[in-house]
Structure 1
Amino acid sequence: MTTMRRAPEKRRPMKEMAYLAAFAVVSVLALVGCGASANSSASPRPGDITIKPVSDASGRAEPDQPIHCAATHAKLTKVAVTRPNGSLVDGTLDTATGTWRPTHPLGLDARYTVTATATGSAGTSVTKRLNIETIDPSGTVTAQSITPATGAQVGDAQPVVVVFTKPVTDEAALQKALSVTDTHHVTGAWHWVTDRRVDYRPRTYWPLGDKITVTGDLDGVNAGKGLWATGDYTHTFTVDSDVHAVVDPGTQSMAVYRGSRLLRKLPISSGGAHYRTWGGYLVVLDKEAKIRMTSCSVGLSCTPGSPDYYDLPVLWDVHLTWTGTYIHDASWDNAAIGRVDNSHGCVHLSASDAKWFYTTVTPGDLVQVINPSKPVALDNGDGDWNLSWARWSTPDATR
């Protein structure tokens, strides 16, 4: 048997082996170099910014909600909201959450421009703008009246009374948009008298000379159940009287004080057995030198000749309740004044006493009627002082 012998391997020259080894080292270094480049700590350039307001189904922004902004590979540094005229809207930016919130709600059915700026770690910045429109609601509510009128001079028991055009369900939101400040910094509180009326009164009476400012930033406030508030208001008034009167049907008299000093004690006639004068604390609403009083207008008889029928001009009228309670001249009833209570609920005075009281008292002064059997309702005029401070200042207290 013949044995086959393997051909000897052809060896590479030493020079060629050295070249291949060097190439392998360079290749490895090149790979390592690519890896280092991909994982370098160099900051990426800032990317896009998204701006997203809270919107309703129509895509319009809700005026009392925040605007959310987010930046890619960068830190949000500034958000500005401007009106079409270029004026800046007051607001605050929380950079941690990218949330910009207006100090006061934006206007309804209004246009704004939102400008957001972000900066990368290398200092490169990027800016984005977005034009937005706020909702155009189908239901709005506004302040029908704010009492006292701006510039008024009033008595020290005068509450602030805000009456809205419609009932509201989110009372807290509207109340938050209302503020009262005064030069003497007295303690006071709001209280909802009805679902359309909210009043503000101090814990005790306003100091003489106090100047009160009422501000209502209502525009764009969500009043609940699809109802949005409109209108911004500022009212100022001054306290220049501290006259108080105490009506005592039991003695047919009325004591009138300025501060703690008794001015006069006047004979009166108040409501008869079937028409007792409302009792408790009543605030003078207004006064007129002459008005026409009719029994028909207050739900009594409309038939001439009836015992409860009257239609006559009356002088020196000081108004106390919406149901028609006045302190006034009743010269035709002089025989009863100071002797017997026989009116339909008003407080009768002689002609001279009525004129004196009319010229002495100011809207906002307090009249206390001692009649515990017929307490006046809070909303029948300004019955605010009939609630204790604890009940008045407690949110959601029983009305």
Structure 2
Amino acid sequence: MTAVLTACSGGTTPAPGGGGNVTGGDKPAVAAPAIKVSPAEGAQKVRPDKNVVVTAAGGALDEVTVQSQGQPVEGEFDATRTKWTSSKPLKPSTTYTVSAKATGAGGPAALTSEFTTLKPKRELQVIDITPGIKGETVGVGMPIMVTFNNDVTNKAAVEAALHVEAEKKATGAWRWISDRLVIYRTAKYWQAHQKVVFTADLAGVRGAGDMWGTKSFRQTIKIGAAQISKVDTRTHQMVVRVDGKVKQRMPISAGKGDTREYTTTSGVHLTMSKHNPEIMISPGKKEGDPGYYKEIVNHAVRISNSGEYVHSAPWSVGSQGRANVSHGCINAGPTQAKWYYDNFQRGDVVDIVGTDRELEWNNGWGFWQMSFAKWKKGSALEA
């Protein structure tokens, strides 16, 4: 590949034998602007996070175009228009063409060159975005959970490429749970009835030593009604509000609390999944052990990873609204439990009070148990 430079000069060529001296009324020749591009013409294996820089000496840049297959690269001129710098990462394994024009006292100049970015040994990809079920509507407590295919060591660069845009303004932050999982949570619940767009602009982002993003990912999330349930294990009542209005008052029975295992956790839970029926088996026990149980329950909505659900319990109707007799779940009558199951959205809020066992922030989706000030300390950009 050969860089092509064209220039026009209004100067006069000196007479032969004149040693370059200007005589009489002749004016010295003025050179056209000198345009320089980095990466250089024909460069190979260019790092995608390397800026494209175009400069002009002896004039100002009129225009700069950097593109691949018709897709332009964004960039900005400096105040004097003698320098142009790209503003976003390049794509790996891609050939780019740079075209620049400048004008100075010596006339116009133009330059065209090409270079190629490196091919990564490993690709960084998003393998799961939750929520991500097609057509799903989620609750106002819903986090955004992003899982990568490989361990991310350059967390700040990757996190900077993650963007969340809500129709109704919200403050939020990412928290790295592991080298492959990062979660976005708002400071307050999402405002109801809106769309949120998550974008991972990973193309050209270096996730680790030999690992680069090669493409971007996008997910539109629909936030539905604000369905917030308040459960008081002392009064044995569950009140469900939808957009602030009471929709159900449900007599319930919570964990009997004679052991920690059978004590319902207090705190802000989120609904995670639903099952009809669900088979519940006592954890860590086998058939014949004291306290062993195996029950088939209907209309079960999971609210933690430690085995807590809101579910139908026709066998406990006599205790619902009066006493706590469950193994830790929130039991309700068949009709109201079915209503809750049918109207459930993942990410709905279930706020439970009245017990001495606190929900851990990492038990299921218990992320609201952590203050937002502490939550955002898990960000690679906030720390």
Q: Which of 233, 254, 265 in structure 2 is aligned with 1:269?
A: 254
Deviations 1:81-117 (A, max 9, x none): 221x3332333344767342143x2222223222333
Is the 8 Å Cα contact of residues 271 and 342 (structure 1) preserved in structure 2? yes
Aligned to 2:181: 197
Structure 2 unaligned segments of length 5 or more: list them: 1-16
Matches within 5 A, 1:3-42: 34=21, 36=23, 40-42=27-29
Aligned to 1:8: none
Q: 1:234: Cα distance to partner? A: 2.1
Q: What CA distance in whole angstroms lies between the structure 1 residues aligned with 2:171 and 2:250? A: 32
Matches within 5 A, 1:215-364: 215-262=199-246, 263-270=248-255, 272=257, 273-275=259-261, 276-295=263-282, 299-301=283-285, 303-334=286-317, 337-364=320-347
Shift of the 278–269 alpha-carbon distance from structure 1 to 2, 3 Å rule, reads: closer
Q: Which amino acid aligns with 1:274?
A: R
Q: Which of 56, 66, 88 in structure 1 is aligned with 2:51?
A: 66
Instruction: Tell me if 1:210 matches 2:214.
Output: no
Q: What CA distance in whole angstroms lies between the structure 1 residues aligned with 2:199 and 2:333? A: 42
Is the 8 Å Cα contact of residues 75 and 84 (structure 2) preserved in structure 1? no
Is the 8 Å Cα contact of residues 151 and 236 (structure 1) preserved in structure 2? no
Shift of the 379–109 alpha-carbon distance from structure 1 to 2, 3 Å rule, reads: farther
Shift of the 45–362 alpha-carbon distance from structure 1 to 2, 3 Å rule, reads: closer
Greater Cα shift, 114-123 or 155-164:
114-123
Q: What CA distance in whole angstroms lies between the structure 2 residues aligned with 1:90 and 1:271? A: 62
Q: What CA distance in whole angstroms lies between the structure 2 residues aligned with 1:237 and 1:45? A: 54
Q: Which of 111, 114, 127 in structure 2 is aligned with 1:144?
A: 127
Is the 8 Å Cα contact of residues 245 and 366 (structure 1) preserved in structure 2? yes
Q: What CA distance in whole angstroms lies between the structure 1 residues aligned with 2:359 and 2:301? A: 17
Q: Which of 43, 47, 53 in structure 1 is aligned with 2:30?
A: 43
Q: What CA distance in whole angstroms lies between the structure 2 residues aligned with 1:203 and 1:376? A: 19
Aligned to 1:157: 141
Q: Which amino acid aligns with 1:137?
A: P
Q: 1:316: Cα distance to partner? A: 0.4
Q: What CA distance in whole angstroms lies between the structure 1 residues aligned with 2:18 and 2:212? A: 65
Q: What CA distance in whole angstroms lies between the structure 2 residues aligned with 1:253 and 1:344? A: 17
Q: What CA distance in whole angstroms lies between the structure 1 residues aligned with 2:124 and 2:150? A: 6
The alignment's C-alpha RMSD in Å is 3.5
Q: What CA distance in whole angstroms lies between the structure 2 residues aligned with 1:32 and 1:63? A: 49
Is the 8 Å Cα contact of residues 253 and 316 (structure 2) preserved in structure 1? no
Shift of the 42–290 alpha-carbon distance from structure 1 to 2, 3 Å rule, reads: same
3-state SS of 2:72 partner? coil
3-state SS of 1:270 partner? coil
Q: Which amino acid aligns with 1:234?
A: R
Shift of the 51–362 alpha-carbon distance from structure 1 to 2, 3 Å rule, reads: closer
Q: In the comparison of the two structures, how many residue pairs are matched?
A: 360
Q: Which amino acid aligns with 2:265?
A: W
Q: What CA distance in whole angstroms lies between the structure 1 residues aligned with 2:20 and 2:90? A: 55
Deviations 1:284-341 (A, max 9, x none): 122233233344xxx522x222234444432101121234322112334456544544
3-state SS of 1:391 partner? helix
Shift of the 45–229 alpha-carbon distance from structure 1 to 2, 3 Å rule, reads: closer
Deviations 1:30-72 (A, max 9, x none): 98993558x944312455644326x9xx951221220133456
Q: Which amino acid aligns with 2:111?
A: T
Aligned to 1:114: 98
Structure 1 unaligned segments of length 5 or more: list them: 1-29
Q: What CA distance in whole angstroms lies between the structure 1 residues aligned with 2:357 and 2:187? A: 24
Q: Which has the larger radius of gyration?
A: 1
TM-score for both structures, normalised by structure 2? 0.79
Is the 8 Å Cα contact of residues 254 and 264 (structure 2) preserved in structure 1? no
Shift of the 145–278 alpha-carbon distance from structure 1 to 2, 3 Å rule, reads: farther
Q: Which amino acid aligns with 2:129?
A: I
Shift of the 385–61 alpha-carbon distance from structure 1 to 2, 3 Å rule, reads: same
Instruction: Tell me if 1:377 matches 2:360.
Output: yes
Is the 8 Å Cα contact of residues 60 and 133 (structure 1) preserved in structure 2? yes
Q: 1:241: Cα distance to partner? A: 1.6
List, as ranges, runs of 4+ consecutive aligned residues in structure 1 with deviation greater than 6 Å.
30-33
Deviations 1:215-255 (A, max 9, x none): 22122212244433344222223332222112223333322
Shift of the 64–155 alpha-carbon distance from structure 1 to 2, 3 Å rule, reads: same
Q: What CA distance in whole angstroms lies between the structure 2 residues aligned with 1:372 and 1:167? A: 39
Q: What CA distance in whole angstroms lies between the structure 2 residues aligned with 1:208 and 1:370? A: 24
Is the 8 Å Cα contact of residues 187 and 202 (structure 1) preserved in structure 2? yes
